[in-house]
Amino acid sequence: MLRYSDRSRAARGRIPPVAMPATHSRIRLLLILGALAAFGPLATDMYLPSFPALARAFSTDAAAVQGTLATYFVGLAIGQAVWGPISDRYGRRGPLLFGIALFSAASASCALTSSIETLWLARFAQALGGSVGMVLGRAAVRDVYAGADAAHFYSRLLIVLGMAPIVAPFFGGQVLASFGWRAIFWALGLFGVGCFLAVWLQLPETLPGARRADGGLRTVLRGYGRFLRDRRFLGFTLPSNLAFAGMFAYIAGSPFVFIELYGVSPQQFGLLFGFNAIGIVVSSQINAWLVHRVGPARLLRVAFLVYFAAAIALLVAALTKAGLVAIAAPLFFAVATMGVVPPNSMALALEPHPRAAGSASALMGAMQFSVGAPVVALLGVLHDGSALPMAMIVLGCALVALAINLAPAAARRGAGRG
C-alpha cells in the first residue's frame, strides 16, 4: 500500500482534493489539461491520412504501416505505467516537463526516419513521452475534484480533447497534400514545445508534498497488485478498455477502408474522421449535463448498449458490402459513446483511490493500450482490403464490454450515483 508523508491524515482518509490557486482559473486548467490529454489523439489521428503514402514511401504493406500504430500503443501502455507512480511520489510538474520534452524530440526523429523499422522505434519513444500528458492530466483532475464533480470535469475536458480527432486528421491531410508526411511529425514536435511552455509557465503543482507517496518499486508493484484485486476498479476499467480497443480497430482500419476501398481522398478522410469525432464532443456534453441527475453508472450502461447496437449495424453493412454511408453511420454512433464511457469509467474507478490517483490512472491507461496494441496487430493480420475485419473486431470488443458491464458484480454495488 502506498504510504504518504502526512501519515495521520492519510490513515484517517481525510486528505481532501487540493484546491487550485486563486490566480489559476478553471478555464485555464481545462485548456492546459485538455492539451496534455490530446497528445495521444493528435499523435495518432494526425498521421492517419498518410497511411497509404507511408506504405508507398517505404515500399511496404498495410500491416507494416499499422505496426507504427501498434508500437505507439505499446509505448503508451509502458509510459503510463511508469509516469503515474513517479508523479505520485515526486509531483506532477517535473514528470510532465520531462515527458513533453521527450515527445518533442521523438517527433523530430519520426520526421527524420529513413525506414519503417526506425519509424516504429521513434513512434515508441514518442509514445513514452506523450503518455505523460495523458495519465497526469487525469491524475491532476482527481487531485482537484472527486465523484460526480470529477466526472463533470472530465466531460468538460472532452470538449478540448474532442477537438483533437476533429481537427487532427483534417490538418494532417492538408499538411500531407502540401508538404508531405514528414511535415506532420514536425508539426507534432512544435505542439509539444507549446505544451512544454504552457506547463512551465502556467500550470501549478496539483499534488502537494503532504499527499505524495513514499516507497520504491516494490511499493508501486504492491499498489498495482491491490488495484488488480479491486473488483470495483476492474469492473469499470475492463469494459472501458475493451470499448477503446474497438476504437483502436476503427482508427487503424479506417484509413485503408475509406481511402483505398471507398476511394475518398486523404483530405476527405480527414473531414469524415473529424465528423465522427464531433459525436464525442456532443455526447460528452450531454453526459456533463446528465451525470448529476442520472449518475455515472447508469449513463455508462446506456453507452455500452448504444455501442453494441452500432457495432451490429457496422457488421451488417460490412457483410453486405454496403456503401460508404452505411459504414460511416454506425461508426459515428460507436465513436460518440467515447464521450460517455471514459469520463464515467474513470470517475467511478478512481473514486476509492484519492491518495493514489496517479498510479490508478496510470494502470487504467496501461491496461487500455495493452489491449489496443494486439487489436491493431490482429487487424493487420486479418486485413483483406474489405471493412469486415474492422467490423468484426469492433463488434467483438463491444459484446465483451457490454457483457462485463451487465454482469452483477459486487464491485459496482452502491456505485449508482457514484
pLDDT tens profile 339-349: 888 888 877 88
Query: Does 3 reside within a domain?
Result: no
Question: Cβ(41)–Cβ(90) under 8 Å?
Answer: no
pLDDT band at 283 (very low <50, low <70, confident <90, very high): confident
The cell numbers describing 271, all together, are 473531414
Q: How far is Cα 143 from Cα 155, in angstroms, rounded to an integer?
A: 16
CA 371, CA 373: separation in Å to the nearest integer? 6
Q: Can you give the CATH number for the domain in which 137 is found? A: 1.20.1250.20
Structural domain boundaries enclosing 198: 25-412
The pLDDT tens digits of the residues spanning 199-239 come to 888 777 777 666 666 666 677 677 778 888 888 888 888 88
Residue 418 pLDDT class (50, 70, 90 cuts): very low
Instruction: Output the pTM of the full model.
Output: 0.69
Q: How confident is the model at residue 302 (pLDDT cuts 50, 70, 90)?
A: very high
| Residue 292 confidence (pLDDT) | 80
Residue 18 lies in a domain: no
Mean pLDDT across 392-407: 90
Average pLDDT for 27-32: 76
Q: Looking at the predicted structure, is the pLDDT value of residue 190 above 80? A: yes
Which of the pair, 155 or 256, is modelled with greater confidence?
Answer: 256
Q: Determine, yes or no, domain membership for 4.
A: no
CA-nearest of 242, 175, 224 to 397 is 242
pLDDT of residue 87: 78
Nearest to 154 by CA among 21, 354, 346, 350: 346
Q: Are 270 and 173 in contact (CB under 8 A)?
A: yes
For 66, counting Cβ atoms within 10 Å of its Cβ (0-12 exposed, 13-18 middle, 19+ buried), the class is buried
- Assess if residue 417 is contained within a domain: no
Number of domains present in the structure of the chain: 1
H or E element at residue 214: strand 213-214
